[in-house]
Structure 1
Amino acid sequence: MTHCLVLAAGKGERVRSSKYPESKQYQEVNDISPLNYLLKSLDKVDDIKTITVVIAKGDASKFKKNSKNIKKLRKSVIGGKTRQESSFKGLKDIYREFGKKKSQKVIIHDAARPFVSNDLIKSCIKSLDKHQAVCPVIKIDDTLKKISKKNELISKDRDKILSIQTPQGFKLKEIISLHEQTKEKFTDDISLAVEKKLKIKLISGSKKNFKITNKDDLQMFGQIILGEKIKLVGIGFDIHEFKKGDQITLGGLKFKSKYGLLANSDGDVLLHAITDSIFGAFNLGDLGLHFPPESKLFKNKSSIYFLKKSLDVIKEKNGSIVNLDLNLICDYPKIKPIRRKILKKISSLMSINIDKVSLKATTTEDQGFINSKNGIAAQAIISIEVSRNEK
C-alpha cells in the first residue's frame, strides 16, 4: 500500500504581494490554487491509497476549502517549524495507523509542485520494489557559476550537478527510523537518506514538475492552467402540458395564470431545461435519471432544488459558466413583460452575471409536433469552462 504525504505548511513569503496575498499553495490563479490542483491530480492516481497533508497552524479553514471532494484524503496534520519537522510529523501520523502492516510505502511531495504527472508518481512507487529510496532528478541546462571569496565567477561543471525534485519515495518504516535517529538538519528527506547511505534510485524527473517559489512561478502556474481550460457544452429540453389552474412557475418565479402545468414537480420548464443541460455537459444523463418523475420524493418539489443539485456538479468540477442561452416555446404567457424578472432570478440562482444569460421566446404557429397553444416548452444551451483534468 502506498501513502502520499503532501507538505503544505510553508508560508511562501517570497510570493506574497498585494496581487498574491495568500501563501503560494492556497493562492488562487484562474479559479484554482496549486494545492487544490495537486490534490485533485493525486486523487486520480490508482496506486495512491491515502493522502495526508501537513499544514500550518491556523490554515485549517483554507485547507478545508482547498480539499473538498478529495476521496483519498486521510487527514491534515499540523506541521512544525521546518520542512524536516513537518515531514516527520506527517510520517509519524501515517505510521501510527499503518506502521504495523506489511509493505507500506510513502511518497513525500511538495505542495508547491502542482504539475507532478501520473507517470512520474507510478515510476517512483514501482522503483521502491527494488530500492530503499527513490528520487526524481533533472539535468541542469543553464551555465553554472560560483562566486568566490574574491567576488570572482568560477565555472562549475553542470554535467555533474542535478536538480532534485519530489515526490521522493521510501519504505515507511525505514524513513521513520531515519528521522528518529538523526539530530542533523536536512532540506529534504532524500538528503537524509543520502547521509544515512540508503540505496537510492534516481529516476528522470520533469521540467513541468517545477516548484513554485516566486511570483513568476505563480504566474506561470496560472498560464498553464489557462491553457488547460476547455469548454463543455450541454443542451437541455423540457415540455409541460397545460391543465386547469391559476399559476405557473417559470425561471424560479411564480406567475398568475389562466392555466396550470401538468407535472410531478412544479413544472418549471426553464429550470428543468437548464438542469438538463448542465448534466448533459458533464455526460451525466438527463433530469429524469437523477430525479425520476415516478418517485414520490420529488412530488411538487421546487425545481430550484433540481437546479442546485446540478450546480453542485459545476462546483465539484471547479467549473465556471461562460454563457447560458434559453429559448421558450409558447403562445402563453407573453414573455416580454416578464423577461427581465426571469433573467434576474435565474442569474441570482446560478450566481452568475445577468449578462451571461439570454432568454428568447417564440411560438410554433400551430405547426409541427409541439403545439405551443397546448403547453410550454424550453430549450437551454450552456457553455461551461473547466480544467482539462476535471473533464
Structure 2
Amino acid sequence: MKKVLFLAYHNSENNNVQSTALVRRISQYEDFFSREGFQIEYIVTKNNDVQIDDWNHRTLEIPIAKYYKNKILNKLYVFFIMIIWGDIIGYSFYKNRKTIHTFLEGDYNLIISFFTPRGSIWLGSYLRKKLNTTWWVDLQDSLSEGLDDINLTVGMNWLKKKLAKADQIIHVSPEWATEDKNHIQKEIVYFRHCIPELPHALGNLSSVNNSPAKIIYAGNIHFDAMNPAILANPLTNFHKLIELEYAGIAQIAQILSKMNIPLTMLGQLDKKQLHECYSAADIILILAWNKPGRKVIPSKFYEACAYNKPILIVGNDTGAFQSLFEEWGHPNVINDSEDKIEEALSGFINNNFERFFCVDKCLFPVSDQTSFDRFLSNSLISHS
C-alpha cells in the first residue's frame, strides 16, 4: 500500500480549537491522499491538553523538550538549538529519534513537512536521507517567522541548507513564495489556502435573517496588526441593527468589551461549534493585516468563503488582499475607513452587498479543494 508520512506540530485530532490554520491545511492534504488510496501516518508533538486513545491515522506524539528557567541560560540554549535543529521542536524530534525509528514501518512514498515550526523541516530533511524517499515541504508562513533581527541571518542560512534537499516546496502565498525564493535560492510553487468543503450535515447553511443582524468575528492573535478599533464608531452608530459576536481568545475579548459596542462573547470554539456560528451569522467579519512590511491574508478568510455569506473586510490592507482580488477577479472591497464600514452596513440592511466580498462575484477560478487536489495530483506525477 502507498504510504505518506506527515510531519507537523499538531494535526486535526490533537488540535481542534477553531480549526487552526496549520491544522486545516494539513486536513486538506489528508483528504487528497485518502482519496488517492494512501495510508497516512503522522509524527506530531504532544498536546498536553488533549488525550487521544484511538487515532484515525497511525500517529506518534513526541513530547516537547523543556526550556531553562534562567533567562540568560535559556537564550543561549535556544540559539544553540536553532543553529543545529531549527527550534525546540526539531531538538525534541532529535532527542526522540530512536522512538521515531521504532515507529516507522516499511517504505514511504512521500514525506511532507508542514511549516511552522522549523523542527518539522529538520525532521523531514533527516528522514529523507534515512528513508531515501521524496520529501515535500508545505510553508504556511514566511520562512522568517519566529526569527528576530539577531537570529534572522543564521536562521535563514539554516533553512537554505535544509531546504536545498527538498523535492518540492509549496507556499500558501505568492508574495511569501517570491520573498522566500530569493532568500533560499530555490524554486517555490504556491497554492493558496483553499476554500474548505463544508460538513453539510452539521447544519443549515442558508442565509439567516436575524434582528439585529449578526456579524461574527472569529480569531485574532496579532492585535497590533489586526486592530478592531476602527469598528467602534460604525457599530455604535448601527447598534440597533447590528450585533457583533466574537469567538476567540480571552485577551481580545477583553479589549473588545471596552469598546462599548453591541457584543456577544462566544469564547473559543471547536470546529463544529464554529461551523454552527458561521452558519447562523448574517455577516462574517475579517480584519485585514495592516502592519507594514508584511502581506498577509488571514486564513479565516478562506474558511469564511465556504459559507456563501457576505464577508466584511475591514482595515488597511498591506497588499495581500489586493493581490487576491486581482487573481480571483473580484472588486476591491477593503473597508479601510469608518465611512466605508458604515456604507457597507447601510448597504447590507438594504440588501446591497457592494462593499462585501462574495465568492459568487469572482470572475476567475478560486482556490478550492478540487483545484488543490488537481495541483497535488500533478505534483505527484512530476515527482514519481
TM-score computed with the length of structure 2 as normaliser: 0.28
TM-score computed with the length of structure 1 as normaliser: 0.28
Q: Which has the higher contact order (CA 8 A, sep 6+)?
A: 1
- Greater fraction of residues in strand: 1
- Greater fraction of residues in helix: 2
